[in-house]
Structures are given as structure tokens and as C-alpha cells.
Amino acid sequence: MKKPFVTLEQLKEITKKYPTPFHIYDEKGIRENARRLKEAFAWNSGFKEYFAVKATPNPFILKILQEEGCGADCSSMTELMLSEAIGFSGNDIMFSSNATPAEEFIKAREMNGTINLDDFTHIDFLEKVAGIPETISCRYNPGGVFKISTDIMDNPGEAKFGFTKEQMVEGFKILKSKGVKNFGIHSFLASNTVSNEYYPTLARVLFELAVELKEKTGADIKFINLSGGIGIPYMPDQEPNDIMVIGEGVRKTFEEVLVPAGMGEVSIFTELGRYMLAPYGHLVATAIHEKHIHKEYIGLDASAVNLMRPAMYGAYHHITVMGKEDGPCDHKYDITGSLCENNDKFAVDRMLPKIDMGDFLVIHDTGAHGFAMGYNYNGKLRSSELLLKEDGSVQLIRRAETPKDYFATFDFCDILKNIKY
């Protein structure tokens, strides 16, 4: 059973100053997890994790990860700007984007970050708008389906990302002729895998590709980026990944494929988001309404604007009714928000302890792709973000939005000057 990293007593104190809903993150858990990842790949002297900024774009979180030796994987102008403000630059920046505007390539070049090209046609585009750097990476899409054992994990052939193998060969030749000296390879073939096989299987695909590219193009391949895809057990009965087993699996593949090819100095990179942060974030909300019609409903002061994964694609997030952790789960509820959309539900037909008005509900595993995917539909305002620090204190790391924030982009509109805040 999943257990919150905050207690009911802590929440009672926290909400005296910061009302629900809010996202709260566990600094101790984040740091310990980053250290486990680093230990799992310590066999590779050049290993580096580039945290996927899109997962949790908060400067306080990014600073913690920077202190733990992580870089930043950015995919937009504002993510580059945020990372630069924190102090990431040069080899600490990986810029992985697609359908990329010219100004974003220019910014990445100005920061001397490593550009991870998503498409063959981007070679000429990048050269035209920002110039070709000496170090560059290219994203590979093998097409078809991606399998682990007998299970189909994902369908790269339907994904919009990456070069074909033929384009990788030709692209490396072209880039080499344009002055590139250091090459990298990147691929992302499956999302949120709860399998220790995924990374080693992906590694074999990329390691074998690296050997082939070196033979056919003479490119000096400096790093291989295994990207993200290591997932977390959202369901309480799922077995979690074992990062030490994963790291050892990649090591064995490295020694089987790259070392015999004279490529034992290649660095391994990762760009994890969900694995790094998801379990260390909770959305905390209060039960404010109950409804008894064809089903039993509990209405929260949070909604899909605070966590859209369940509404977007039926994702499961475990829920703890605080103070009733040991109570019988003998009530069936739909847990809802207040949006004018019927899919605004955090849980459907969920068996939980009896919920009373005023109860705190902790929605688990929201530390990645939680707050970050928020929006303002129905004029709803984004919540605050809090950090539970290692010493037990709580720090506000993003204030809640106000109506003034919501209307700020209409500051040229005379009609709205009459609004009273």
C-alpha cells in the first residue's frame, strides 16, 4: 500500500498558512533517488542524468537536482531560459525539441547546449538559422513496434519523432562534412515502463546502431542518450523498477556490444522525469461536497486543472484519505473536481474509506507531469507548490495564481480595468 510522505498532523499545520489544493514535494526522497540513479550507472565514467524539465519546471526542484549533479533536458525557449537562470549551461544542457522554431535553436546555441536534432531536414535548418556546432546528437526512430520479451511496449512507427536508420547514416556523413567532431545518439521508444528490461533492451538497439554508424561514417560517437521511459508503479500492486538491476543490465550490454568495438569510452546519458520526481509529489485537496444520485460522488477543491492525467487518458493515481489509512475501503466513490466536463474525475468507482466533508485527500505520484500540465479552463487558477524540506520545514516554491494573474495578459483591455481584485 502506498503511504504519503506527509502526515495528517503536518497537513493540519501546513494548511493554516497554505490552503488546499496544493502540490507538495519531498526533498529527501528526491535527493535519495537521484543518488541511487547515479550509483546504478557509476560504472560509466561519463554518466550524466539530464532531468526532463518539462516534467516539473520549478526552479527550486531544478536547483536540488543540479546540486545532485544532474543536467537539464529542455524542449522549449522558456525551459532553456529557466535552466539558464538557475545556472545550467554548456554540457549541462541537452536541447531536445521537434518542429523547432528558429529562435529556440539560436538560444540553445547561445547557451552552448548540446542540440539533439529530431529530423533529417533540421540539419539544413539549423545551419541556416544558428550554425552547426562541433558537438551534436541525433534522435533515432527504428519504426515498427518495440518489444520486450513478448510484450509490445510501444509503436515507434506511429511516433512523429526521430530519424530513420538510413537518415542517421546520411545525416552523420553530412554533419561530419559540416565540421561536427563529436556525435551523440538518442532514442525514446516507450513511456512509463515498469520493467527492468526496457533500458537494457533499448541500450542494445542504440549500442548496435552506434557501432554501425561508426563503421559506415567514421563518426566519433561520444555519448549515447537512453532518454526517459523508466516508469513508476502508479498502481499499488505493481512491482517498482529496480534501478540497480537496470544499471547492471545496461552495463552488461555495454560490455557485450561497445567494448569489443573499441567504444568503451562512450558516455551514457539519461533524461528521466517521471522516475526522478513522480513518487515524490502529492496533490493535496479537501473534500468539500458529496453527491448521492446514480452514483456516489465526492467533490474536491482541486480539479483536472491541477492534475489532468486521469481526465486526459484515464490514468490511475492512488488516493489516501488522511487519518483513515487503516480504515476499511468499503465505500465506492467517483472523486471529482468542479470543471464543466464529465471527465473531471480523479478516480472512478474507487473503493475508499468513508469520506467526510473537510477530509484531506492525498493524490499520489503527481511530482512529474502533474502541476506542469495544468491549465486555466473554466477560469480556474493554478495552485501553489510547496517543498517539504529535509529538516521537516515547508517552503513555498510557487505561489498560487490569483485573478490578477489570470487577467494580466489583457492588460491592454480598458474594459477589464474596472475589475476589483
- CATH number of the domain at 14-21+280-410, please? 2.40.37.10
Task: Identify each DSSP E strand in 81-165 by its residue range.
Answer: 93-96, 114-117, 135-139, 146-148, 151-154
Q: How far apart are CA 263 and CA 76, in angstroms?
A: 32
pTM of the model: 0.95
Q: Which of 74, 138, 329, 340 is catalytic?
A: 340
Return residue ranges of the chain for CATH 3.20.20.10: 26-278
Q: Which CATH class is domain 26-278?
A: alpha beta
Return residue ranges of the chain for CATH 2.40.37.10: 14-21+280-410
Kindly state the greatest CA–CA separation across the chain.
73
For 232-263, the pLDDT digits (tens) are 999 999 999 999 999 999 999 999 999 999 99
Give the chain's count of helices (H) and strands (E): 12, 19
The residue written with cell numbers 519546471 in the block is 57
Q: How far apart are CA 294 and CA 362, in angstroms?
A: 26
340 catalytic per annotation: yes
For 367-385, the pLDDT digits (tens) are 999 999 999 999 999 999 9
In tens digits, the chain (421 residues) has pLDDT values of 899 999 999 999 999 999 999 999 999 999 999 999 999 999 999 999 999 999 999 999 999 999 999 999 999 999 999 999 999 999 999 999 999 999 999 999 999 999 999 999 999 999 999 999 999 999 999 886 776 664 545 667 676 889 999 999 999 999 999 999 999 999 988 888 898 999 999 999 999 999 999 999 999 999 999 999 999 999 999 999 999 999 999 999 999 999 999 999 999 999 999 999 999 999 999 999 999 999 999 999 999 999 999 999 999 999 999 999 999 999 999 999 999 999 999 999 999 999 999 999 999 999 999 999 999 999 999 999 999 999 999 999 999 999 999 999 998 888 888 888 8
User: Any idea what DSSP says for residue 174?
Assistant: H
For 379-416, the pLDDT digits (tens) are 999 999 999 999 999 999 999 999 999 999 998 888 88
